[in-house]
Chain A
Amino acid sequence: MDNLITRRRRGELWIGAVILVVLILLPLPIADAYTRNLIIISILFAGLAQAWNILGGYCGQISLGHSLYFGIGAYVSTLLFVRLGVPPLVGMFAGGLIGGLIALLVGWPCFRLSGHYYAIATVVVAEIGYLLFLNWDFVGGAMGVYIPFKGDSWVALQFRTQKLPYHYLVLAFATATWIAAWVIEGSRWGFSWRAVKDDVIAARSLGVRVFPSKMAAAAISGFFTGMGGAIYAQYVGYIDPDSTMNGQLAILIALPAVLGGVGTLWGPFLGAAVLTPLSELSRSYLGGSGRGVDLMLYGLVIVVVALARPAGLVSLFGIRRRPKGVADGSPA
């Protein structure tokens, strides 16, 4: 039994390595900036969705407030860079740390709530954060923060028109989230979290310390989400509360994980690989009509996938899931 699991886990590492190589080579034959941008955004969201998956998937806490950690990460690294000259390569770790810290602060009151109460509370906390940033002049308020362009630099993570460096940056980020998820799957933590997700009361009786488990998941998840926000900020060059903390963003972070397959290694990536291009391409080629066709298509795909593949798109690939009969009903 143990052996089987180790073998499977090693197999996943191999698959991961192959996919990583493919993704490293992928942009080389692609010259145009638009497609490269599409790939970058997809990989960024793959990493963000994986970060969400650590809390939402493995630990089963449906957070709809991850936009808060994303925005905090973006603001921390940007302000450190613009005000204090701290290079974003360092700043993005600071952004991640603060993001994780905030996730702990949010988790402390919210993890006492269960089910939909928890989900709504995360929305509300994120909304409070958004409103406070919108009204906080020290961080630029509604005007946001421009990131001045100072020339191509890996330390400042700025590149004039080159897309390749950003590609490798987001790829490194997504890989880090994947490895974190992989490690967690095989660790004692991963076991505790899955127990918490499946049945809180049973987990408690097995000696799992439920609250600390949730807090640990939140901190890791918040850390990576904040880091993603910091990368986004350098990539786009301008941040404001509307684009980095909006409630809609929280859904966009969670969606690839949910539709791809929650609590799986590959689900979030697969979800992002399908959903992000879908939303970007439909906007680019259908949004110009201004008739809302892109929104209709996007909404429809979400509904159809959620209903047809409740276990996520990964189930198409026959990846082994939990034993039959273990059905988790409403979120715990």
Chain B
Amino acid sequence: MKRIVTSLLAAAAAVVVHGQARAADDVVIGAVYPLTGNGAAVGLDAKAVLEVGQDLLNNKHDAIPMLMGKGGGLAHLGGAHIRIVFADSQNDPQKARAEAERLITQEHAVAIIGSYTSATAATISQVTERYEVPYMSADNSSPSLNQRGLKWFFRTSPHDEMFTAAMFQFFKDIGAKTGHPVKSVALFYEDSIFGSDSSAVQRKLAGAAGINVAADIKYRASSPSLSAEAQRLKAADADVIMPSSYTSDAILILRAMNEIGYKPKAVMAQAAGFQEQGFLTGAGPLAEGVMSRSSFALDATKSRPAIPAVNAVYKAKNNKDLNDNTSREFTALMVLADAVDRAGSAKPDDIRKALIATNVPGNQTIMPWAGIKFDETGQNTEGTPVVQQVTNGTYHTIWPFDLAVQETVWGVGK
């Protein structure tokens, strides 16, 4: 293991000189993320993990058992390197649009990868559609994005509808397994596009599953205080609280519930902030027992042998483990690089054809998914999420049961 890491790091150092020498042949991929402002924490992690991916693709290192895990550049393009050019969207749709356009026209990016928030993805994917360049949505989870008839939109990640379906499936399975049914949920969601989208799906699926929505609370994001909101959650005292929140609010609501002496029976988060390291350290013991859907399972090393190697390089660079977001960004890059490689061409049209033909089995990725295969809307249909739970400050997979590393525990907070 250690040997792999050192060889990778040495290769990363070598690429600076090497990379410049052959810059002419580089295949440029644009990456649009919020690198300053509100989403900066997530954007900077994305930048770090994509750089790790770039190094793994370009440099010579011991083979990692995954798609494009051999390194040494793109084989079908004479060993050409992938070069990622980053752009800062500041989480603003207009700026995201301008940056995507710059990457395509100035930097000659043959594909764009992005973009964390759904609002920025909405405008980036319009630009890529007009310039006829693939947009690889790594981590945008709004279900509406792939339903706009776009030809150049591809999304490896599951969207909120798939995620939410998994949560409700989990409720059903765990009820059957342990005799602990979920009869009521409390929806708690922020007032931006993410919360609106996520809660709409949850409301719908709760109705379909015959689960009572005991509270339906839309709150103002980044509020100075969430104590009255916590009070409402306490009054409803549902079997499961289902929050859709970014990091800051995730920390705040757990603290606010604690402050009014409320220990929820269960929390099932729509990932986002709840999967961030800032939340886990910020909420500390209060986060114990919090469940969250995830597209990633760091502990699924048995069935996904590539995880330790990739995670080690990422951790060496960014001092964090891979999480729900960074793993998806990494995977999207690998799928894109694979498509360029199979296309044997850096022409957007060839890349698009190769993307459509993508069929990667799950064990060739670092994701716990069944696989990667795009439908006609560009959505990966085989991205099957998992459910995880916090124990001792980190997430552990608890569902699907065949991937579970521990039993589900009810109750939140220590």
Contacts and interface: CB of A to CB of B under 8 A. Distances in A.
B88 A290 contact: yes
B123 to A, nearest CB: 5
A165 B202 CA distance: 43
Given A135-B218, A143-B196, A237-B126, 6 more contacts: A134-B192, A236-B123, A240-B119, A284-B99, A290-B44, A292-B40
Interface string A119-144: 00000000000010011000001111
A117 interface: no
Going nearest first, the 6 A-B pairs with the smallest beta carbon separation are A287-B88, A290-B35, A34-B102, A33-B105, A288-B86, A142-B196
B308 to A, nearest CB: 27
A243 B40 contact: no
A142 B87 contact: no
B161 to A, nearest CB: 14
B131 A283 contact: no
Contact of A287 (B90, B97, B130, B193): B90
Contact of B191 (A142, A146, A237, A288): A142
Nearest to B99: A284
Nearest to A282: B88
A146 B102 CA distance: 22
B106 A240 contact: no
Given A287-B87, A292-B36, A242 B106 contact: no
Contacts of A232: 94
Contact of A143 (B86, B87, B101, B197): B197
Given A34-B98, A37-B101, A240-B193, A289 B126 contact: no
Interface in B85-119: 85-88, 90, 92-95, 97-99, 101-102, 104-106, 119
A198 B409 CA distance: 70
A243 B94 contact: yes
Nearest to B40: A290
Nearest to B47: A290
Contact of A283 (B85, B90, B129): B90
B195 interface: yes
B87 A238 contact: no
A142 B99 CA distance: 23
B144 interface: yes
Q: Summarize B's interface: helix, strand, loop or mixed.
A: helix
B35 A287 contact: yes
Interface residues of A, number: 35
Nearest to B44: A290
Nearest to A163: B101
Contacts of A280: 95, 98
Contacts of B44: 290
Contacts of B122: 144, 146, 238
Given A37-B98, A149-B130, A287 B196 contact: no
Interface string B57-91: 00000000000000000000000000001111010
A243 to B, nearest CB: 5
24 contacts: A33-B105, A34-B102, A34-B105, A34-B106, A37-B102, A41-B94, A135-B218, A142-B192, A143-B196, A143-B197, A149-B130, A161-B130, A238-B119, A238-B122, A240-B193, A242-B92, A283-B88, A287-B35, A287-B88, A288-B85, A288-B87, A288-B88, A290-B36, A290-B44
Interface string A209-249: 00000000000000000000000100011101011000000
Given A238-B123, A243-B94, A284 B87 contact: yes
Interface in A271-327: 280, 283-284, 287-290, 292, 294-295
A30 to B, nearest CB: 11
Contacts of B98: 34, 37-38, 41, 280
Contact of A284 (B102, B123, B193, B220): B102
A2 interface: no
A143 B192 CA distance: 7
A32 interface: yes
B53 to A, nearest CB: 17
A188 interface: no
Given A34-B102, A240-B193, A294 B88 contact: yes
B368 interface: no
Contacts of A237: 97, 123, 126
B43 interface: yes
Interface string B129-159: 1110000000000001000100000000000
A112 interface: no
B159 to A, nearest CB: 14
